[in-house]
Amino acid sequence: SAAAAAAKVLAPAKGGSGKQGKGEKRLEEMASLAVTARAKENLATALAEMTVGFTGAEVANLCNEAALRAAALNATHVTMTHFSEALDRMQGGLVRSRVMAAQDRHRTAIHEAGHAVVAWFSTNANPPVKASIVWRGETLGFVQSKPLERHSKTRIVYEDEMKVMLAGRVTEEVLLGDSSTGASNDLERVTDMAYYLVGKVGLSGSDKLGLMALLGRRGRTPHESALLEVTS
């Protein structure tokens, strides 16, 4: 049963001291619930794609959440639907009990659709997997992407990622005639990325700066004023 599966997954891994070992143990236990070898292989592949960049502890938490979700619904098996719902909860938090106003829901749908469409047509951006306008925590909606494993990034990759981040606000302005505060987090992320590119890794693409690192390891420093002066 799903309840038994939840108990099995929640049990401490034998001899698992490291985070990665803990996560691998949880994935192995979840994959063992698959009925056939093909189902087990498909589940393992889907889970691997879903958890790119996760630590062992995060993988274990995802498995725990999925098993508990299945148990709460009295399901006979833990499926990818439960894993997807568990990932939504990890990324966005609990579903809000309050009902979102119709106009807010419409604007959120347009905003998230903008992110998803630009991500889909951007060569170097992480491809979108799902868009949601379910109100979770402080998040009115989000687009879940399939992370691409990269050990380094070029300026073009960063530029595509920044386009995706700004696409929600731009789509609001084009289709609704104005923008909302829903893009505040997007603007913060774009700003941080721009400072990183220009001020830390020398990927500004400008001859004014060249190959210079104007920002310290901990982010913005007194060099920020010089950076602003040169790039203004």
- Mind giving me the DSSP string for 166-186? HHHHHHHHHHHSS--GGGHHH
Instruction: Look at residue 78 and tell me whether its pLDDT is greater than 70.
Output: yes
Structure confidence at residue 19 (pLDDT): 46
In which band, very low, low, confident or very high, does the pLDDT at 174 lie, cut at 50, 70 and 90?
very high
In which band, very low, low, confident or very high, does the pLDDT at 203 lie, cut at 50, 70 and 90?
confident
Rounded average pLDDT over 52-73: 83
Lowest-confidence segment of 87-101, 123-137, 152-166, 179-193 by average pLDDT = 87-101
Structure confidence at residue 18 (pLDDT): 44
pLDDT per position as a tens digit, 15-47: 444 444 555 555 555 555 555 667 677 777 777
Catalytic residue positions, numbered:
112
Question: Residue 142: in which H helix or E strand, if any?
Answer: strand 142-145
Structure confidence at residue 176 (pLDDT): 92
Residue type, 195: Y
Instruction: Look at residue 92 and tell me whether its pLDDT is greater than 50.
Output: yes
Rounded mean pLDDT of the chain? 75
* CA–CA separation, 59 and 205 (whole Å): 38
Which residues, in sequence order, are CB contacts of 144 under 8 Å at separation 6+? 87, 88, 91, 128, 129, 130, 131, 132
218 CB burial (10 A radius; 0-12, 13-18, 19+)? exposed
Closest-CA residue to 120 (of 180, 164, 78) = 164
What does the buried/exposed string (b/e) look like for 51-75 if buried means 16 or more CB atoms within 10 Å of the residue's CB? beebebeebbbbbbbbbbbbbeeeb
**Residues 215 and 224: beta-carbon distance below 8 Å:** yes
Which residues, in sequence order, are CB contacts of 19 under 8 Å at separation 6+? 55, 56, 57
Structure confidence at residue 110 (pLDDT): 92
Give the angle 129-130-132 at the CA atoms, nearest 5°: 160
* CA–CA separation, 40 and 28 (whole Å): 10
Structure confidence at residue 79 (pLDDT): 81
In which band, very low, low, confident or very high, does the pLDDT at 12 lie, cut at 50, 70 and 90?
very low
Structure confidence at residue 118 (pLDDT): 94
Rounded average pLDDT over 193-218: 75
**Residues 124 and 160: beta-carbon distance below 8 Å:** yes
Structure confidence at residue 42 (pLDDT): 76
Rounded average pLDDT over 200-205: 79
Rounded average pLDDT over 129-147: 78
Rounded average pLDDT over 58-73: 85
Tokens at residue 81, please? 């639907």
**Residues 191 and 142: beta-carbon distance below 8 Å:** no
The share of the chain scoring above pLDDT 90, in percent, equals 16
Tokens at residue 115, please? 């992110």
Lowest-confidence segment of 58-62, 107-111, 160-164 by average pLDDT = 58-62
